[in-house]
Structures are given as C-alpha cells and as structure tokens.
Structure 1
Amino acid sequence: MNELETVFNRFDANGDGKISADELDSDLHCVMEDLDTDHDGFISLTEFAAFCRSNASADGGSGEFHNAFDLYDRNKNGLISAAKLHLALNRLDLKCFLDECRDMIKSVDGDDAGCINFEEFKTMMTTSKNRSGATSGSTH
C-alpha cells in the first residue's frame, strides 16, 4: 500500500472508502489536543512551530518540513512570500498581521529576496526565537 493510501485509510475510520466530516472531526480534535499545549482551544504559531520542531527532531524533519512548506507554497514556485505566509496562517486560524509575517520572513531571508526558499523555511521553523506576536489571540 502506498503512503497516500495509508494516510487515507487512517482518516477513513469505518473503512467504507470515503472520509466523512465526522471522521475528519474526530481526527481534528486529536490534532488539537496534541498541538494546543496551553489548552486554550487554539493553536498559536508558537505551538505550531514547537510541533514542527519536535517532528523534525524525531525524523530528521525532511518530510514534515516539505509537507508544511507545500502548505504555504500553493503555487509551487519554491518560494514563500510574506503574503503567502500571512494567508496560510490566517486560513489555519493563526491570526497575525502581514507586518509580523514580513518580520518572520526577513529574519531568515539570507539573500534578501523578500521570499524564503525551503532551507530558509526550515531555519524559520526550527529557530528557538519566540514568535509570540503571531498567535491566535492577536486581533486585526
């Protein structure tokens, strides 16, 4: 069985070959419990980054980082801009300001291109720097 089928079958709890909203809801609650370490009902950027760091140390991080990078790099050009990061984080209910995303990008953008590549993204996700400004509790 290939990796895609394995992941699909994990979500298809009743084995009917389809993933229902109830099946996704159940898994989503498990993910929330794992990631929401302060139990406030939200996953902050700090909690999300800690999760990514822990997965990276467990398996070398390559696969997990590529999956996360692909989430942000929706047009598959190999770069993440502050605007892409801002959009993706807000879609994940990790509310933040565009300026905060620009600062995050700038902090690891070694070539000052205004966008980050995969290696710079890994650096951003593994840095121990506190990124508490972009949390679910921020308001617009």
Structure 2
Amino acid sequence: MDDEVRKIFSKFDKNGDGRISVSELEQMFSTFGSKTTSDEVKSMMKHIDQNGDGYIYLKEFADFHGNDAAAGAGKEEEIRDAFDLYDLDKDGLISVNELHIVLNKLGEKCSLSDCEIMISNVDADGDGNVNFEEFKKMMAS
C-alpha cells in the first residue's frame, strides 16, 4: 500500500484509532472550508465504507483512492465523491486555488505553480479548471 495513502488517511483519522468516523470526515471537510453538507458526507461514507460498519478503515480508504475506484461502470458516484473533495465552493469545477488548499491541508507541500501544472495536465477544454468529465478521464487513466 502506498505510503501517500497512509499519510492522507492519518490526516482524516484525527483520534488515531485506525478508522475514520463520519464526524472526522465532516471535520476534515470543514477544515478545507468545503460547503459539503452532512448528508453529502454520509452519502460519501456509505460509498467508501465497504463493510457497512459506519467507519472507514485504511484498506477501504486505499481501495477508494486506488485505481479500482475509477474502473468500470457503477463507479461514477465514487468518482463524484472524490471530485467533491476538491470542489470546495461546489461550482462544479476544481480551480488551481482549490487544489492548492486541499493538497496543502493534506500535508502535500506544493506551490501554486505546481497546482497550475497539475490542472493544465488535465484541463482538456483550456478553461484553467478541471470539470467533472476531465476529472473522470484522469481517474480512469
């Protein structure tokens, strides 16, 4: 398992008990300044929580963030949930600033220009943002 996934998981797992609760997930979104509602967080939890016990364990988190989250039909909701993590203002686009905020809150030290490069690598329509279709193509590749 990728050390990066473990590092991100531990940022969400605030109390260090090896699992992410709904409240920890809500707290992380709040930290990002996201306008994600409580119902959206619960829906996201339902998609990631494979065993249905109300918590996300590292393996479930890794599976969600792994390639299989983007593969095949029936995964659109999972991809949407991942997209929503970055779309802080819920305008349907991931901007350079949103990517920068989220990655830095996750402990990734990247500059605004690094984020501009990341966005430009995925931005097929050239508008300077990543829309859901562009994000979906990126996740599938």
Runs of 4+ in 1 over 3 A off after TM superposition: 3-9, 32-35
Cα offset for 1:109? 1.0
Aligned to 1:89: 103
Change (3 A) 1:77 1:33: closer
Q: Retained in 2: the 8 A contact 1:104–1:124?
A: no
53, 78, 91: which one aligns with 1:10: 53
Aligned to 1:133: none
Change (3 A) 1:34 1:64: closer
In structure 2, stretches of 5+ residues that fail to align are 1-39
Count of equivalent residues: 96
Aligned to 1:71: 85
Cα offset for 1:118? 0.2
One-letter code of the match for 2:97?
Answer: A
Q: Retained in 1: the 8 A contact 2:119–2:130?
A: yes
Cα offset for 1:60? 4.0
Aligned to 1:102: 116
Cα offset for 1:81? 0.6
> Normalising by structure 2, what TM-score?
0.54
Tell me the secondary structure at the aligned position of residue 57 of structure 1.
Answer: coil
Q: Structure 1, residues 38-59: CA drift from partner, whole Å, max 9, x if none?
A: xxxxxxxxxx5xx1x2212265
How many Å separate the matches in 2 of 1:113 and 1:85? 15
Change (3 A) 1:34 1:114: closer
One-letter code of the match for 2:53?
Answer: R
Change (3 A) 1:107 1:68: same
Aligned to 1:31: 58
> Normalising by structure 1, what TM-score?
0.54
94, 112, 121: which one aligns with 1:80: 94
In structure 1, stretches of 5+ residues that fail to align are 12-26, 36-47, 128-140
How many Å separate the matches in 2 of 1:101 and 1:124? 15
Q: Structure 1, residues 59-85: CA drift from partner, whole Å, max 9, x if none?
A: 543011100111111211111111101
Change (3 A) 1:73 1:33: closer
One-letter code of the match for 1:126?
Answer: A
